[in-house]
């Protein structure tokens, strides 16, 4: 039997429930632009009085509007997009290094060397044309050294970046394990732990940007986080990753084993910044360095062979123009103007033999003809064609990487949009909620007023 | 679809950033006049441009070679012309000396003139150009002909690359022009004439005429040879200049931007960017809160 007192109780519950609703709306508005915030919905339900209806309203907590499927998609898309972006950054640096638009690149320096041989042939006994050969060879060596050094430095920097990224992954794993523990405690105490869950989702998303990350909930309700196919956070325990180098200088990713040591998981590294860095370092950079070293080695060797056949005006023969290693390894970085001829223009071998000194020019012509000879890449390309090939291959790798970045970012922003559509705060919606709860609150206050009035009427009548 | 604030911001930001980057690229293209500013703008074109640049460098080197060696070759030609003219004068003197009415004194005077011619000819044969003695072969620093007429040079060719498949010789052979290597020892022939005139020996004078003639035609032949070399230099230069022109044209075609197109694209993108900003503003202005 519902009496006036019950009306007051109902009105009181209504005030509590509606102000809870207002509170949740307030939270949503406050966090409208907080990254990783998932909108809450106040759950109101009727309060039963046993089997009777006519009870009031009760705030039964709140709902965090998430969708595991979309979150996983977002993690995956973030990983792929980060990998593409990280790789593209390195490719952009490589491309800038080989941009010969200003005529100051390696290609121009190489062309100048051959032009200097041509000029030498016109006036073999002139000290200036001889000095120009040395100057052009020096400029080529400088360019090759700079390019080679920059590529080596990039390789070192990328390893450092990879190490930093691995450290961040380990840090995130620790944080996620800690949050798992806090969430478990909060849940045990009956709290909804929404804020902690938001934080965990955000950390996992952040981790996805670093390395390919996959999550699932195991049988006992724990969130399991896997990176590169390996469980890194299981419930409240975190493992750590480490980085090593193979004999060929490529990077190796390991996960630490409980008993010590680590097992390699490099082959499962498919996404995140780390994958982009590894691809850029061990494939793209490696490839470019190798081609550059081969080009420098092959051209310098061909010039050396021809140069050694000729004679300098001092009568000396058999001298190299460049000092080179035995193989093309690091040739770009290590090539130098030979100590045999450095600072000795007279030792440039323009003549083919000592008998045609000082006016013989046939060796100079032969040197300049190397320009048209296929001496590079197993004698299949001329120097200019080989350089053009390198430029073309760098350009097409970068162009396809740029397209990749665009595509992956478009996919990511679509998934983000889906995620936002699901879990983001809509201020319009909150405005309506605000008005809704406000009106309900005002109506409940009115109910108290009405109950009070009725009570007064009753008391006045009875008390007379 | 449920639309949230963040989605609006993201979409406005994404659109603006995409348009801005396209606009920046278009601006670079319009400003630089180049379609290929980076290899990735058009990898195939970038590779071609690198090869064209190499070819241009080679063409420039060849043209510069041609203009450098041209001076010495012209000097050699005019020197040989003078030499052959001197031989013609020597022949005149020989004809005069063969005239039976002349006395020993007059022949002695003629002999003196022949000696002068011989000295001049030694001077000519020792002419120096920009790369040393013109007629010394590769011994460009050694005076090729001593006063006695002995040859100290060699018959090496001065070869350069002017674009032919084999290296081209661009010097005149002093050995073939002046010494027995060419068939006649020019100075020896003049000596014979001088001796004949000095000794007042008309028979010997008549006998020397043939040598003088042959020597003269040897010098003329040498002059013709260097003339042919000069023609070759000219021909090569016009070939190289045609390649140069073609390369420049290809470079502009492959790497250059069409100014009208680049400019209109830029204007189009500027407008699009402007509109996008306006539209973005009005999208972000949408909010139910403002109505209350």
Q: How far is B223 from chain A (nearest CA, A)?
A: 21
Between the two ends of chain A, the Cα-to-Cα distance in Å is 26
Query: Which of B1, B3, B6, B250 to mutate to probe the A interface, most A CBs <10 Å?
Result: B6
Cβ-Cβ contacts under 8 Å, B3 against chain A: 421, 426
With the CA atoms of B172, B177, B182 and B185 taken in that order, what torsion angle do they form, in degrees rounded to the nearest 10?
-150
Cβ-Cβ contacts under 8 Å, A416 against chain B: 10
| Residues contacting residue A60 through CB under 8 Å, at least 6 positions apart | A43, A44, A45
Supply the pLDDT for residue A1.
43
Q: How far is B57 from chain A (nearest CA, A)?
A: 6
Cα–Cα dist A332/A147, whole Å: 7
Cβ-Cβ contacts under 8 Å, A32 against chain B: 5-6
Supply the pLDDT for residue B288.
67
Asked if pLDDT for residue B291 goes beyond 90, the answer is: no
Q: Name the residue among A21, A7, A126, A42 with its Cα closest to residue A451.
A: A7
Supply the pLDDT for residue A464.
59
Q: Name the residue among A243, A285, A331 with its Cα closest to residue A154.
A: A285
| Residues contacting residue A81 through CB under 8 Å, at least 6 positions apart | A405, A408, A409, A411, A412
Write out pLDDT tens, residues B173-183: 999 999 999 99
Write out pLDDT tens, residues B221-271: 999 999 999 999 999 999 999 999 999 999 999 999 888 999 999 999 999
Cβ-Cβ contacts under 8 Å, B134 against chain A: none
Write out pLDDT tens, residues A324-367: 999 999 999 999 999 999 999 999 999 999 999 899 999 999 99
Strand partners, B160: B168
Listing DSSP states for B32-47 in one string gives H-BS-SSGGG-HHHHH
Listing DSSP states for B160-216 in one string gives E-SSSSSPEE-S--HHHHHSGGGTS-HHHHHHHHHHHHHTT-HHHHHHHHHHHHHHH
Q: Name the residue among A428, A212, A389, A367 with its Cα closest to residue A291.
A: A389
A-facing residues of B in 165-224 (CB < 8 A) are 167
Nearest to B132 among A125, A366, A391 (CB): A125
> Is B7's Cβ below 8 Å from some Cβ in A?
yes
The mean predicted confidence, pLDDT, of chain A is 92
In this structure, the number of other CB atoms found within 10 A of the CB of residue A442 comes to 12
Cα–Cα dist B260/A282, whole Å: 43
| Residues contacting residue A5 through CB under 8 Å, at least 6 positions apart | none
Cα–Cα dist A404/A274, whole Å: 17
Rounded to the nearest 5 percent, the helix, strand and coil shares of chain B are 75, 5, 20
Nearest-by-CA chain B residue for A426: B4
Supply the pLDDT for residue A342.
93
Cα–Cα dist B234/B230, whole Å: 6
Cα–chain-centroid distance for residue A160?
A: 14
Cβ-Cβ contacts under 8 Å, B65 against chain A: 118-119, 121-122
Q: A351 and B138 in contact by Cβ < 8 A?
A: yes
Higher pLDDT: A303 or B290? It is A303
A-facing residues of B in 110-149 (CB < 8 A) are 130-132, 136-141
Q: How far is B43 from chain A (nearest CA, A)?
A: 5
The mean predicted confidence, pLDDT, of chain B is 92
Q: A420 and B167 in contact by Cβ < 8 A?
A: no
Percent of all residues in chain B with a pLDDT value above 70, rounded to a whole number: 99
Nearest-by-CA chain A residue for B9: A33
Query: Which of B19, B22, B47 to mutate to probe the A interface, most A CBs <10 Å?
Result: B47
Cα–Cα dist B248/B56, whole Å: 8
464 residues of chain A, pLDDT tens digit each = 467 788 888 899 999 999 999 999 999 999 988 988 999 999 999 887 666 666 788 888 889 999 989 999 999 999 999 999 999 999 999 999 888 766 668 999 999 999 999 999 999 999 999 999 999 999 999 999 999 999 999 999 999 999 999 999 999 999 999 999 999 899 899 888 899 999 999 999 999 999 999 998 887 777 899 999 999 998 778 999 999 999 999 999 999 988 888 899 999 999 999 999 999 999 999 999 999 999 999 999 999 999 999 999 999 999 999 999 999 999 999 999 999 999 999 999 999 999 998 999 999 999 999 999 999 999 999 999 999 999 999 999 999 999 999 999 999 999 999 999 999 999 889 999 999 999 999 999 999 999 899 889 988 987 65
Asked if pLDDT for residue B114 goes beyond 90, the answer is: yes
Q: A413 and B289 in contact by Cβ < 8 A?
A: no
Write out pLDDT tens, residues B99-108: 888 889 999 9
């Amino acid at each position: 039997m519902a009496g006036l007192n019950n009306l007051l109780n109902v009105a009181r519950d209504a005030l509590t429930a509606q102000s809870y609703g207002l509170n949740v709306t307030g939270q949503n508005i406050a966090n409208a632009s907080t990254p990783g915030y998932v909108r809450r919905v106040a759950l109101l339900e009727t309060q039963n009085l046993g089997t009777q209806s006519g009870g009031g309203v009760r705030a039964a907590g709140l709902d965090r509007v998430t969708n595991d499927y979309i979150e996983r998609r977002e993690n995956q898309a973030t990983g792929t997009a980060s990998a593409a972006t990280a790789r593209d950054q390195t490719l952009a640096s490589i491309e800038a290094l080989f941009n010969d638009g200003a005529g100051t690149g390696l290609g121009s320096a190489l062309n100048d060397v051959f032009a200097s041989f041509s000029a030498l042939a016109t006036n073999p006994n002139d000290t200036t044309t001889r000095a120009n050969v040395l100057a052009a060879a020096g400029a080529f060596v400088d360019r090759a050294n700079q390019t080679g050094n920059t590529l080596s430095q990039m390789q070192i920097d990328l390893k450092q970046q990879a190490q930093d990224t691995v450290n961040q992954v380990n840090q995130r794993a620790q944080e996620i394990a800690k949050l798992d523990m806090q969430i478990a405690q909060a849940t045990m105490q009956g709290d909804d732990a929404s804020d902690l869950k938001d934080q965990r989702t955000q950390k996992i998303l952040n981790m996805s940007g670093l390395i390919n990350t996959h999550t699932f909930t195991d049988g006992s309700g724990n969130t399991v986080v896997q990176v590169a196919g390996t469980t890194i956070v299981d419930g409240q325990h975190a493992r750590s990753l480490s980085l090593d180098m193979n004999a060929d200088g490529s990077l190796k990713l390991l996960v630490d084993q409980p008993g010590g040591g680590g097992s390699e998981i490099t082959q499962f590294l498919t996404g995140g910044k780390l994958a982009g860095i590894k691809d850029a370092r061990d494939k793209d950079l490696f490839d470019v360095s190798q081609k550059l070293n081969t080009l420098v080695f092959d051209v310098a060797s061909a010039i050396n062979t021809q140069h050694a056949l000729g004679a300098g005006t001092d009568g000396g023969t058999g001298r190299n123009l460049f000092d080179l290693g035995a193989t093309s390894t690091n040739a770009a970085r290590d090539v130098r103007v030979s100590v045999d001829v450095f600072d000795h223009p007279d030792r440039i071998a323009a003549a083919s033999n000592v008998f045609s000194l000082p006016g013989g020019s046939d060796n100079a012509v032969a040197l300049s003809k190397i320009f048209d000879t296929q001496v590079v890449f197993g004698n299949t390309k001329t120097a200019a064609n080989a350089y053009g090939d390198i430029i073309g291959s760098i350009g097409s790798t970068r162009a396809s990487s740029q397209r990749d970045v665009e595509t992956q970012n478009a996919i990511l922003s679509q998934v983000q949009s889906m995620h936002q559509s699901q879990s983001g705060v809509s201020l319009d919606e909150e405005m309506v909620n605000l008005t809704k709860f406000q009106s309900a609150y005002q109506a409940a206050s009115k109910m108290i007023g009405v109950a009070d009035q009725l009570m007064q009427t009753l008391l006045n009548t009875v008390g007379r | 679809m449920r639309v949230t604030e963040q989605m609006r911001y993201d979409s406005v930001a994404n659109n603006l950033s995409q348009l801005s980057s396209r606009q920046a690229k278009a601006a670079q293209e319009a400003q630089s006049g180049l379609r290929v500013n980076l290899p990735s703008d058009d990898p195939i074109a970038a590779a071609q441009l690198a090869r064209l640049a190499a070819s241009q460098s080679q063409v420039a080197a060849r043209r510069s070679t041609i203009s450098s060696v041209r001076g010495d070759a012209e000097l050699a030609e005019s020197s040989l012309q003078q030499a052959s003219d001197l031989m013609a004068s020597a022949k005149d003197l020989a004809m005069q000396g063969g005239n039976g009415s002349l006395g020993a004194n007059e022949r002695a005077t003629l002999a003196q003139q022949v000696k002068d011619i011989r000295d001049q000819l030694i001077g000519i044969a020792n002419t120096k150009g920009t790369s040393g003695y013109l007629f010394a072969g590769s011994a460009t620093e050694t005076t090729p002909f001593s006063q006695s007429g002995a040859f100290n040079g060699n018959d090496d060719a001065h070869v350069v690359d002017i674009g032919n498949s084999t290296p081209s010789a661009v010097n005149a052979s002093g050995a073939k022009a002046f010494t027995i290597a060419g068939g006649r020892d020019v100075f020896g022939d003049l000596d014979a004439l001088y001796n004949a005139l000095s000794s007042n020996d008309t028979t010997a004078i008549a006998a020397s005429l043939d040598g003088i003639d042959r020597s003269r035609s040897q010098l003329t032949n040498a002059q013709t040879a260097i003339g042919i070399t000069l023609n070759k230099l000219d021909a090569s230069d016009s070939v190289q200049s045609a390649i140069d022109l073609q390369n420049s044209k290809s470079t502009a075609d492959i790497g250059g931007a069409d100014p009208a197109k680049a400019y209109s694209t830029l204007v189009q993108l500027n407008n699009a960017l402007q509109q996008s900003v306006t539209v973005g503003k009005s999208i972000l202005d949408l909010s139910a809160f403002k109505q209350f």
